[in-house]
Amino acid sequence: MRNRTEGKKMNKRKVKKIVTIMMLSILVVTLISVGLYYGIKAYSDYKEKKSYNDLSDYMNDADNDELIEEKTAKMVKLEELHNQYPNVVAWLDIPGTAISFPIVQNKESNTYYLTHTYKGENSARGSIYLDMDVDLEKPSENFLIYGHRNKNGAMFEPLMNYEKEAFYKDHKTLTFTTLNDDSEYEIIAAFRSRIYYKSEKNVFRYYYFVNADNTSLYNPAIQGGEPAFNDFVKNAKNDSMYAIEPTASYGDQLITLSTCAYHSENGRFAVVAKKTKKLNVKPKNEVNNEDNNNESNS
């Protein structure tokens, strides 16, 4: 009887030991798996960030002494990038910040680039992208641009610095480069907003203002064209978190940078700027004169 009891105790200890070993093994495997997951994710994030940084260095190393006819060096480099990745249609720079990115556009979807890089690779960061309805050639009155943000400072996270007036005063301009234009823009408003419910009336749906002649989503009660443009500018200025003297008039080219914000449900933060001047472009006659001089010297 005694031996049987001791045998049962030993069996229980063995079972307990086996269970403990199994649980520890599961814990170790889980920890290794989690470690691998975050390690792979961190490496992937590093590679993606390095890809953008290298591309930014390449684009911003443009020497305008090497201008060709009616194009800046950055426009030439953008064209090279566009030839490799056709959905890359522009480049955005905010001097003095980490915002220096290729701008992509999918004409059929406003969600694709939420989860893809400019190369078309899957990415939690996504890309900085133009609204699908923006026409750079026409052009649309407002170049509406979206981008994710995260706590690591990636993508449009630095845009949130414009909540502070002191930051704005040191970073009043941005540059926007397309295949046909390279220009400086002056910021005229920075405001918080949110995505409104369809039932809400008399609200500023800035995220629907792209083409002034189409107000069906922006505000159907407002006539298209100049009245719609002026309404957008007025609301942007009224909602701005601090007073900014420069404004915009009908005929000015606008650009709006929009990202998520967490002050409310479906919160948004937006910065609006207007085009003020073209960056240096070598005139056609100057290019021809240089070509002639080179020929005469050869």
Strand 142-146 with 88-93, pairing: unpaired
Closest CA to 174 of 100, 248, 94: 94
CB 159 within 8 A of CB 149: yes
169-223 confidence digits (pLDDT tens): 999 999 999 999 999 999 999 999 999 999 999 999 999 999 999 999 999 999 9
**CATH 2.40.260.10, domain 62-284, yes or no:** yes
User: What is the pTM (predicted TM-score) of this model?
Assistant: 0.79
Please state, in angstroms and rounded to a whole number, the distance separating the CA atoms of residues 234 and 284: 39
106-159 confidence digits (pLDDT tens): 999 999 999 999 999 998 889 999 999 999 999 999 999 999 987 777 789 999
Query: What's the residue count for the chain?
Result: 298
266 DSSP 8-state letter: T
Please state, in angstroms and rounded to a whole number, the distance separating the CA atoms of residues 281 and 235: 34
In angstroms, the Cα distances linking 15 to 8, 29, 82 are 10, 21, 65
Mean pLDDT value of segment 15-43: 67
Strand 100-104 with 128-130, pairing: parallel
pLDDT-derived band at 63, boundaries 50, 70, 90: low
12-25 confidence digits (pLDDT tens): 667 677 777 777 77
- Could you tell me the residue ranges of all domains in the chain? 62-284
Burial of 187 (0-12, 13-18, 19+ CB in 10 A): buried
266, pLDDT greater than 70: yes
